[in-house]
Amino acid sequence: MANKEKQEYDYEGDMAMSQLKSIIANAQRMHDMLKVDTNLPEWVQSKITLAEDYITTASNYLQGEMNEETTHSVHVKTYDSQGEKQMNSPEFKNHISAHGGKLDYASDKGAAFKFASHSHAAAFHRGVQSKFKELDSEHDVHEEVAVNAAGAGNVAGLGVGPQGEPGVHMKKKKKVVLASFKRFARK
């Protein structure tokens, strides 16, 4: 997320951290005042539900943004028993580990390996082509984008509020307010 355009994100972390400290302090203060059987006014239940929903939505969004990364994959294919032998050989396994590869998936026709950098994946790919004649390999680069709950309205710009925040159906929320609060109180 640090690479996003400066106009969009401009040193707002300090402000957010201050606000989160305040949220934590106030939530702890309310938590300490309440008992499991405390009866709260409806408007207070509503505010707690909205706060929990907004914090969860923002947290999930940031988690997804922070986890975006580019991965480099090499797909190695085998077409016959000779290729399978090469793929299962100690030399091939050493070749994988020498370049920092990790198995992504394997099938009866080959396997895919992930690498942290383009140079590691490219060196592994070139090595497969030159040392393991019975194997075929393809090197591709893709960006992994975190999957979030956009379909549930949990992404800014897709909801119904002025900033596109998710809409809250109060009738549905009332049913889960006590369950959500009890879950929070147990922590």
The answer to whether residues 64 and 148 touch, using CB atoms and an 8 Å cutoff, is yes
* pLDDT tens readout for residues 20-43: 999 999 999 999 999 999 999 999
pLDDT at 180 over 70: no
- CATH code of residue 130: 3.30.70.1150
* pLDDT tens readout for residues 94-152: 988 888 888 887 877 788 888 877 788 888 888 888 888 888 887 765 544 444 444 44
Q: Is residue 33 part of a domain?
A: no
Q: Is residue 177 part of a domain?
A: no
* Domain hosting residue 98, numbered range: 69-144
Q: How many domains does the chain have?
A: 1
Name the DSSP class of 159.
S
Q: Is residue 6 part of a domain?
A: no
Q: Is residue 94 part of a domain?
A: yes
CA distance 122 to 108: 24
